[in-house]
Chains A and B, each alone.
Chain A
Amino acid sequence: MTQRIFEILRDEILEVDASFTPRSDLVEAGLDSLAVTQLLLALEESTGIWVDESLLTPENLASAEALAACVAGLAE
């Protein structure tokens, strides 16, 4: 899941360079209100899970890893 989120962000949503990793802070990397919804839509398409925006706390947006843990929690 972490890798999938990381790839969606890196390849489709954010304009980032090689320094962007699965542990990079997503807001600092440029994730904004429009981009986060595009991310959620891409995640829904690939996992079938819609993550309600209310779950997107600063902690869950701290990195692709943190967001993946949040999504995995919903899938269980």
Chain B
Amino acid sequence: MRPLVPLTGADCFLRAFDGEVRRSAGASHLSQLVLRLGPGFDPARLRAQLAAAAEEAPILRAPIRRPYGIGAPVYDLRRAASAPAPRVEVWEPREASRGGTSAQRPIPEVFFERLNDRFAAARGELLRADVVPYDGGAAGSDVALTWLHMLFDGSGSEAFVRWLDERFRGVRGPGELPGGDGLGDVAPPPLGAGRGRQAQQWQRQMSGFAARPPRSLAGPLRRVRQALRYELDTYGALETAAIAKRATEKAGFLTPMLYYLAAAIRAHDAVFRARGVDPGAYLVPLPVNLRPKGAEGAVFRTHVSMLWFHVGSEQARDFDGLLAALKAQRRDSIKAGLVEAGVAALDYARFAPSRLYARMARRSFGGELCSFFFAFTDQFLPGVPSFLGAPIENAFHSPSVPTSPGSSAILSVRDGRLNLTHVHQQGVLGEEECALLRRRLREDLLGVA
């Protein structure tokens, strides 16, 4: 691996919002993966595996900086050796959390606190782990891995957990990085005139949204301390099977994400309507995984482009009509080459000052970025029943969302059960609004609205 590993364009997109979150909300733009484990977990094993992983993959603790203050930012592997290994901290469960199964236990408060933390990226603090054992681990443990979002995307974080477990079980030997992680060496393709035109095409699309700008539940960005929490809804196996069947029938076997996106838009719309507010339009980015064949297991950096969906609020009134509009937009965007255009635009933006990048995005929409964040990542850690010797009872993603838009809906399926993580900035939604959002989402997913 080269000593200075360039960030991908998508990394820089996330880095731009990290800068914004630092300045406006006093936190970092982080993501989190939570494992709810059965008995048998030993934090010392995690500490040992993370230390060994950091030796083998120094990017895990490499300071991120712009060499000589200019140019595209890089992971500086030369300075990684002097940075400490990712920290693992063990916490006592709070009184209310002591009893019950993992499904009954509340999410540990320390996980929310960590999601609102500020990481020292320039000193190589990119990843931390928090462990809450119950009855000393005999009754199970909750584990949260929290990282600077640009280090892994959702797929990468699952590949990382898989890698740690494979190392622990001896399935993968020391130094054997998961498949395709030679990608860590690959610099983004050169920026020629063709890619410049693609970037301009993407810019034109974004500018076009300004004719009907989105409005988020939080409203335009303002300086307010980040205070994210999330609720987890885990659907039963029968409900999940029914939802998957409906999603396939309405949106297609390989493209069910639009079904979930339609439900998420209508769930936010229900809150706006309860407020008596017409948001005018919804604008939501949908990540597109761009790992090439053979690199599915790649862990590090962000390998995504984004498709943007823009619908009028009147289209949210009817689920099937909304879904049809989303399908048409997806088809038109892919036909127009906007997946590739998005990559080109993000690659160009690597050279722009982060502050300028974020500011440009918000200026077009009156201080808004988008309506909310959304992801449907389908199967979560398929084929990984345990982690470092303890059975995985449930697992889900809980990425942070900027204080504006202040709300995100993240969905994935673990062991045949759908998990919805609704991450939101405290104060953006009232308790009843949170309940309404989740209830409407559930009704639409199950088709009982």
Using a CB–CB distance below 8 Å, which chain A residues touch chain B? 15, 27, 30-34, 36-38, 40-41, 50, 52-58, 61
Q: Which of B248, B249, B254, B293 sits near A33, CB closer than 8 Å? A: B254
Indicate if the CB atoms of B293 and A61 lie closer than 8 Å.
Answer: no
State in angstroms the CA–CA spacing of A27 and B250 once bound together. Answer: 19
Indicate if the CB atoms of B249 and A37 lie closer than 8 Å.
Answer: no
B369 is an interface residue with CB less than 8 A from chain A:
no
Q: List 19 A-B contacts (CB under 8 A).
A: A27-B254, A30-B293, A32-B254, A32-B289, A34-B288, A36-B252, A36-B254, A36-B255, A38-B334, A41-B335, A50-B331, A52-B327, A53-B251, A53-B258, A54-B248, A54-B249, A55-B252, A56-B252, A58-B253
Residues of A within 8 A of B255 (CB): 33, 36-37, 53, 56
Given contacts A30-B293, A37-B330, A40-B331, contact A57 B254 (CB under 8 A): no
Indicate if the CB atoms of A56 and B293 lie closer than 8 Å.
Answer: no
Q: Could you mark each residue 329-355 of chain B with 1 if its beta carbon is under 8 Å from any beta carbon of chain A, else 0?
A: 011001100010000000000000000
Q: Which chain A residue shows the least CB distance to B288?
A: A34
Q: Could you mark each residue 285-307 of chain B with 1 if its beta carbon is under 8 Å from any beta carbon of chain A, else 0?
A: 00011001100000000000000
State in angstroms the CA–CA spacing of A50 and B293 once bound together. Answer: 27
Residues of B within 8 A of A56 (CB): 252-255
Residues of B within 8 A of A40 (CB): 331
Residues of A within 8 A of B339 (CB): 34
User: Closest Cβ of chain B: how far from A18's Cβ, in Å?
Assistant: 16
User: Closest Cβ of chain A: how far from B362's Cβ, in Å?
Assistant: 28
Task: Give the interface centre of A15, A53, A61 by most chain B CB atoms within 10 Å.
Answer: A53
User: Closest Cβ of chain A: how far from B328's Cβ, in Å?
Assistant: 10
State in angstroms the CA–CA spacing of A56 and B288 once bound together. Answer: 19
CB interface residues, B 246-269, toward A, < 8 Å: 248-255, 257-258
State in angstroms the CA–CA spacing of A41 and B254 once bound together. Answer: 15
State in angstroms the CA–CA spacing of A11 and B27 once bound together. Answer: 47
Q: Which chain B residue shows the least CB distance to A35?
A: B254
Residues of B within 8 A of A54 (CB): 248-252
Given contacts A37-B331, A41-B331, A41-B335, contact A31 B254 (CB under 8 A): yes
Indicate if the CB atoms of A15 and B293 lie closer than 8 Å.
Answer: yes
Given contacts A15-B293, A57-B248, contact A34 B334 (CB under 8 A): yes
Given contacts A33-B254, A34-B288, A57-B253, contact A41 B334 (CB under 8 A): yes
Residues of B within 8 A of A33 (CB): 254-255, 257, 288
Residues of A within 8 A of B252 (CB): 36, 52-56
Indicate if the CB atoms of A61 and B250 lie closer than 8 Å.
Answer: no
Residues of B within 8 A of A38 (CB): 334
State in angstroms the CA–CA spacing of A34 and B52 once bound together. Answer: 36
State in angstroms the CA–CA spacing of A36 and B339 once bound together. Answer: 14
Q: Which chain A residue shows the least CB distance to B323?
A: A54
User: Closest Cβ of chain A: how far from B279's Cβ, in Å?
Assistant: 27
Given contacts A30-B293, A53-B327, A57-B248, contact A37 B253 (CB under 8 A): no
Q: Which chain B residue shows the least CB distance to A53?
A: B252
User: Closest Cβ of chain A: how far from B257's Cβ, in Å?
Assistant: 7
User: Closest Cβ of chain A: how far from B81's Cβ, in Å?
Assistant: 37
User: Closest Cβ of chain B: how far from A24's Cβ, in Å?
Assistant: 15
State in angstroms the CA–CA spacing of A67 and B292 once bound together. Answer: 24
In addition to A33-B255, A56-B253, 11 A-B residue pairs with Cβ atoms within 8 Å of each other are A15-B293, A30-B293, A32-B254, A33-B257, A36-B255, A37-B255, A38-B334, A40-B331, A52-B252, A53-B252, A53-B255
State in angstroms the CA–CA spacing of A17 and B200 once bound together. Answer: 36
State in angstroms the CA–CA spacing of A52 and B252 once bound together. Answer: 8
Indicate if the CB atoms of B334 and A37 lie closer than 8 Å.
Answer: yes
Residues of A within 8 A of B258 (CB): 53
Residues of A within 8 A of B248 (CB): 54, 57
State in angstroms the CA–CA spacing of A31 and B258 once bound together. Answer: 18
User: Closest Cβ of chain B: how far from A36's Cβ, in Å?
Assistant: 5
Residues of A within 8 A of B249 (CB): 54
User: Closest Cβ of chain B: how far from A69's Cβ, in Å?
Assistant: 16
State in angstroms the CA–CA spacing of A53 and B289 once bound together. Answer: 19
Residues of A within 8 A of B331 (CB): 37, 40-41, 50
Residues of A within 8 A of B251 (CB): 53-54
